[in-house]
Structure formats: structure tokens, C-alpha cells
Amino acid sequence: MAPTSVFFLMSLLSCTTTAQLIVSPSRSQFFDTQSVSLSCEDEGPGWTLRRNTSRQTRAQCGRQWGKMKGSTCRISVLVPLDSGVYWCESSEGQTRTSISLSVTGGPLVLHSPVLPVMEGQEVSLHCQTHPPSNRSADFYKDGVFVGAGPAGHMTIPQVSLAHQGVYRCDITGVGQSPPSWMSVSGKPTTTPPPSLAPPTPSALLPLLFRPLCFLVVLCPYFISTLLMVSWYRQRRARNRSTRAEMGLDDNSDDVITVRQF
């Protein structure tokens, strides 16, 4: 198989091993008798929806709870026993996106993001009564008062990692909502392409060292070559002088003279 085909196959497989749990309506708290739909959205088959509750462990939708329709699991009538942790699981046992759902028979629920929110996004919290009303609500994070919201609404314009925690809401004379965890994820970091990234000192070192190596290796060669050329020219000059003294021209053969001592 060609390398490009192998790369394409690996990319395809890596894309098909992720699944995200989608909740509709998108919140983590519900009144009993309400309904909810959950689905594992992915690029391939083999993902199932499971849950842990006070009475069930790794219970699969369509067999022990809820009704499957296509890739969506629906609970038509919620009850407090449906409170628990829900997640997507592949046939190989891989898990993705676990969330907590809370079902209450009380007078208040807190509508907050059920999935992690990105740092910098706007987040809205809504304290809803049953039956609905427009009363002001007090909001708490990790047990500490963080503000009052007219008509039961509070907005965080730009959420940060410091906003992550357990939230609840109170309405005087009505009661308080169950606690709800809000998760905040950091902004993804972006780096320039390698060709555009500024070179680091460690990356520049080989670039500077390579010309230095060439100079160290080639300098003796050039010096020796210059010395050889200079010696050769001097030798030719001495030979010409000797020939001139002996009355020979430059085209005559070399004459070896043996002197008597």
C-alpha cells in the first residue's frame, strides 16, 4: 500500500474514534415529567449511550432505559431516578464526553451549560421556577454569593477558568436549585507554521557552525595550494635563469649538469 494511502487510512480511523454527546435541550437540570434527547454524534457506527444512576451501572439506552430512534436516545418522561452520569462508549470500550444530568421534583432548576464552555465565551445562567415566573434570583458559586439576577437571569460576558465551579440559585420564598457543575476549557493555542516561526538560538547554531567548519577544512587547502603555486613559479624562474646562463632557449630539452668538485 502506498504511503499516502496508509496516511489517509490512519487519518480516517483517527477521525472515526471520537464521539460527542449532544443533549437536547442543552442543560444539565430538568424538572420531573420533562423529556430529554441524547445522541452520540460521530463519524462512524459502534457508539452506544450508557449511564450510571443510583440503581444502574453502565446501563445501555434502548435495553435498560430510554428508547432508541436512529442514533438518538429519548427519555419521554424524566423522574428523579434518571439523575446520574451519561456518556458515549464505543464497541472497543472507549469513552467520550461524560456529563451529569439532574432531575428534581423541587420548585427550581438552574439552566447552565451542560458541556464545557470555551474561555472567553459568554455564558447565561437561568434560575427557572415551576410554574415559570419572573422573580429575581440569587446565584452562588462554590457556596459563595456571586450576584443577583433580575427575572432569574445572570450573564457572564467573558467566562474564564476562574468561573469554573459548582453553581446553584436561590429565590426567596421559593427554595434553591440542585447544584450544577460548570466546566471551562482554555483557549486553543495557535503556533505559526514551522516555515514562518522565528528561529531559536539552538536552531541557528548549526547554521553558524557549518560555514565555520568549511572555513576550517578549506583554509589549509587554499594555503597549501597558494604555496605550491608560488614554489612552482619560483622554480620556473630559477630554471629560466639557469638556461639563460647556459645559452639555452625555453624549448630545448632539460640539461643535467654534473659539476666536478
How would you classify the pairing of strands 117-118 and 95-104? unpaired
Domain range list for the chain: 19-105, 106-187
Tell me if domain 19-105 and domain 106-187 are identical in fold: yes
**Cα–Cα dist 244/252, whole Å:** 11
Cα distances (angstroms) measured from residue 75 to each of 9, 79, 105, 213: 37, 10, 16, 74
Which CATH code fits 19-105?
A: 2.60.40.10
Q: Which fold has domain 106-187?
A: Immunoglobulin-like (2.60.40)
The predicted model scores a pTM of: 0.64
Q: Label each residue of 141-157 as H, E or C.
A: ECCEEEEEEHHHEEEEC
Neighbours of 58 (CB within 10 A): 11
**Tens digits of per-residue pLDDT, 137-164?**
999 999 999 999 999 999 999 999 999 9
237 — pLDDT class (breaks 50, 70, 90): confident
pLDDT in tens, 198-235: 455 555 455 555 555 555 555 565 677 777 767 767 77
- Model confidence band, residue 44 (pLDDT cutoffs 50, 70, 90): low
